[in-house]
Structure 1
Amino acid sequence: MAELATIARPYAEALFKASQADLEATAGWLEPLAAVAGDPQLLQLAANPNVRAQQVIDLIAGVVGQPLPGPAMNFLRAVIENDRIAALPEIATQFRALKNARTGSSDAVVYSAFPMDAGALAAVAPSLEKRFGRKLNLTVQEDRSLLGGIRVVVGDEVLDTSVKARLEQMKVALTA
Structure 2
Amino acid sequence: MTQALTLARPYARAAFAVARDDNAAAAWSDALAFSTRIAADPQVHPLLGNPGLTRDDAVTLLVPPDAGAHYLDFIGLLATNGRLVLLPEIAGLYEQLRADDEHVVLATVTSATELPEDEVAKIRDALKRRFGREVELETGIDPSLIGGAVIAAGDVVIDGSLKGKLARLQSALAH
Which TM bucket (shorter chain)? Answer: 0.7 to 0.9
Alignment of 1:107-126 (within 5 A): 107-116=106-115, 120-126=119-125
- Cα deviations by residue, 1:132-171 (Å, 9 ceiling, x for unpaired): 4443322112111122332101233222233434555677
Contact 1:43 1:85 in 2 (8 A): no
- 2:18 counterpart of 1:18: yes
Counterpart of 1:58 (choices 60, 63, 76) is: 60
Contact 2:54 2:79 in 1 (8 A): no
Counterpart of 2:67 (choices 38, 44, 69) is: 69
Q: Which amino acid aligns with 2:31?
A: W
Distance 1:152 1:7 in 2: 28
Q: Which secondary structure state, in structure 2, belongs to the residue aligned with residue 19 of structure 1? A: helix
Q: Which runs of 5+ in 2 are unaligned?
A: none
What TM-score, normalized to structure 1? 0.73
Q: Which runs of 5+ in 1 are unaligned?
A: none
* Percentage of pairs with the same residue: 32
Distance 1:22 1:83 in 2: 25
- Cα deviations by residue, 1:103-143 (Å, 9 ceiling, x for unpaired): 23332111011234666533431122223444332211211
Residue 85 of structure 1: how far off its partner (Å) = 0.5
Alpha-carbon distance change, 145 to 45 in structure 1, aligned in 2, over 3 angstroms: same
What TM-score, normalized to structure 2? 0.73
- 2:8 counterpart of 1:8: yes
Query: How many correspondences in the alignment?
Result: 170
Contact 1:110 1:140 in 2 (8 A): yes
**RMSD value, Cα:** 3.2
